[in-house]
Structure 1
Amino acid sequence: MNTFSSPLKGGTPGRAHQRRRRAAFTPARLGVYAFLLTAALFFLLPLYVMLVTSVKPMSEIRLGNLLAFPTHFTLGAWSAAWQSACTGLDCNGIQVGFWNSVRIVVPSTVLSIVLGAVNGYALSFWRPRGAGLLFGVLLMGAFIPVQVMVYPLVRVLASVHLFSSLPGIVVIHTIFGMPVMTLLFRNYYVSIPQELFNAARIDGGGFWRIFLQLMLPMSTPIIVVAVIMQVTGIWNDFILGLVFAGTRNLPMTVQLNNIINTTTGERLYNVNMAATILTSMVPLAVYFVSGRWFVRGIASGAVKG
């Protein structure tokens, strides 16, 4: 009976396997693969040009072949970009901007996430009077262009003596990050069953105890999402760092712009490319290391509610 019924079910296993292989290479799937390959080349080609140019001596770069592999591999441009490239009148390399960016990113990320988590928790479970209006105001703040608020913030920070200082730029990034962080945490906490909060209230838990002992340990996925968004956003910022940080605290992106635009004779394209890659290494490392947790956090409620 099994021999008779096997052809009726689709033939032998070998033929079924051949049909599945043929189905795997349909025109539609080949078109998708072609599009993905083209998109990958489109995004990876500039990175390839930067990498090969950064390890070439200037004698090879002058030949004009951007795509050619280096015949004389050298890391001198990387060392110069880090230690001795000129950013205006100072020739201490882009390392100065790196440490400035670290001092800006760490407190700005921590403060904006803490405030966003507390706001999202309060708006999700405690819901004070006017919570909907407050959430709408915060949400509106996430869509206001930065350029519209630059001049008023300059006046405000100057009046409290925080303009052109490290605390000033940290406050600015915290202000601009708080609406998005509140939106993320509020939508995440909305997906948590209300019964957990009610049980904690019955057990005598207060505002901070429930937040610290119940909600915060459950917030690891969304915290990872928030850290990735804030670190990459603040690190890649240019205009806020240029306006509010002051000359002693210029972030890495501003220092990179100064290196590229500072010319003392010959323009060193290999040093410029090396400095560009050094500036982008932190966001790339964050995405490569934490990309899996980013997707997991988004899927677990970051965009729900």
Structure 2
Amino acid sequence: MSNQTIKQPSKVLNNVLRIALYTVLLTMAAIYLMPFVVMLLTSLKDVEEIRSGTLLSLPSTLGFESWQKAWSSACTGSSCEGISPYFLNSFQIVLPAVAISTLLGALNGYVISLWKFKGSDLFFAALLIGCFIPFQVILLPMARTLGWLGIANTTTGLVFVHVVYGVAFTTLFFRNFYQSIPEELVKAARLDGAGFFTIFYRIILPVSIPIIVVTVIWQFTQIWNDFLFGVAFSGFDTQPVTVALNNLVNTSFGGKEYNVDMAAAIIAALPTLAVYVLAGKYFVRGLTAGAVKG
């Protein structure tokens, strides 16, 4: 009788705490999503309704003209053309930059953690310092380097910039993850006659999926959202979508069309939103996968 009396209040208390926790989480989620809701509602209204209504008022009629206009009338300088070329430019920059920086980071982390050599710790320290170099510091030397290589104002040049700047971060991710892999595994493979690349391809890469996901999400987000490198090192035809969005928002003919601006901002954010929605849970899982050695 006494045990039932004790368990009953405990169960009620757990339910109350669970309800309170979910209430707090839902409230914080609603606050966090409020700007996106305002952007979405604004993008579906016409200009007159935006001026006469409130931020959270629902549109009287659903209209996607602003979305079509944002996609097809982004303005840069004295001329206007569709935002779609800039959207495609971003993909042409992001995909190879993410692939190359991830591969280089995996190789660097593999060498530094499992193939120790003289000066490997110094090499890793130099890469670690590279993670804390501000973007603004490398603008001038990078511009001279791109000019010397003959790839200034090109998509290839932007890919090069993001690979160089991102490889320090990817190396750090992979090195910390590979620290959890027993060195005896590599030594045993070497005794069996496996070489450097055989061990990397057949043993290391198959267990690297969690950290590869982390690196891809991190690099994709950083490169897609980049504005400074895009505006500094791109040409008129190679600008990423972030630069096109800035030009659209800061250029107006006649009245300011906030619905078009909001629609363009959502379009520009869709790829990163999709990446986090589809693979967000793997990001945290990958970050903690190599946290404990053994």
Could you tell me the TM-score, scaled by structure 1's length? 0.91
Q: C-alpha distance in 1, partners of 2:4/2:49?
A: 62
Summarize deviations over 1:270-290 as a string: whole Å, max 9, x none: 000000000000000000000
8 Å Cα contact 2:241-2:268 kept in structure 1: yes
Q: How does 1:193-272 map to 2 (within 5 A)?
A: 193-272=182-261
8 Å Cα contact 1:157-1:163 kept in structure 2: yes
TM superposition shift of 1:92: 2.2
TM superposition shift of 1:18: 4.8
TM superposition shift of 1:158: 1.5
Long gaps (5+) in structure 2: none
Is 1:24 equivalent to 2:15 in the alignment? Answer: yes
- In structure 2, the residue matched to 1:123 is 112
Is 1:11 equivalent to 2:4 in the alignment? Answer: yes
Q: 1:57 aligns with which of 34, 46, 70?
A: 46
Pick closer, same or farther for the CA change 1:189–1:154 going to 2, 3 Å: same
Q: C-alpha distance in 2, partners of 1:290/1:220?
A: 12
TM superposition shift of 1:29: 7.8
- In structure 2, the residue matched to 1:71 is 60
8 Å Cα contact 1:88-1:259 kept in structure 2: no
Q: How does 1:161-172 map to 2 (within 5 A)?
A: 161-172=150-161
Pick closer, same or farther for the CA change 1:111–1:17 going to 2, 3 Å: same
SS at match of 1:247: coil
Q: C-alpha distance in 1, partners of 2:189/2:77?
A: 58
The residue type equivalent to 2:221 in the other structure is: T
SS at match of 1:91: strand
Q: Which moved more, 1:88-97 or 1:57-66?
A: 88-97
SS at match of 1:191: coil
- In structure 2, the residue matched to 1:295 is 284
Pick closer, same or farther for the CA change 1:304–1:174 going to 2, 3 Å: farther
Q: C-alpha distance in 1, partners of 2:57/2:163?
A: 44
The residue type equivalent to 1:67 in the other structure is: L
- Among all aligned residue pairs of Structure 1 and Structure 2, give the percentage whose two residues are the same amino acid: 45
Q: C-alpha distance in 2, partners of 1:141/1:238?
A: 20
Q: Which moved more, 1:282-291 or 1:147-156?
A: 147-156
SS at match of 1:110: helix
TM superposition shift of 1:173: 0.1
Q: Which moved more, 1:240-249 or 1:132-141?
A: 240-249
8 Å Cα contact 1:56-1:72 kept in structure 2: yes
Q: C-alpha distance in 1, partners of 2:103/2:57?
A: 48
TM superposition shift of 1:304: 5.5
**RMSD between superposed Cα atoms in Å:** 1.8
Is 1:183 equivalent to 2:172 in the alignment? Answer: yes
Pick closer, same or farther for the CA change 1:11–1:57 going to 2, 3 Å: same
Long gaps (5+) in structure 1: 1-6
Q: C-alpha distance in 2, partners of 1:237/1:271?
A: 21
SS at match of 1:182: helix
SS at match of 2:11: helix
8 Å Cα contact 2:74-2:244 kept in structure 1: no
**Greater Rg over alpha carbons, structure:** 1
Q: C-alpha distance in 2, partners of 1:249/1:106?
A: 15
The residue type equivalent to 1:173 in the other structure is: H
8 Å Cα contact 1:188-1:304 kept in structure 2: no
8 Å Cα contact 2:74-2:247 kept in structure 1: no
The residue type equivalent to 1:36 in the other structure is: L
- In structure 1, the residue matched to 2:74 is 85
TM superposition shift of 1:52: 0.4
8 Å Cα contact 2:75-2:244 kept in structure 1: no
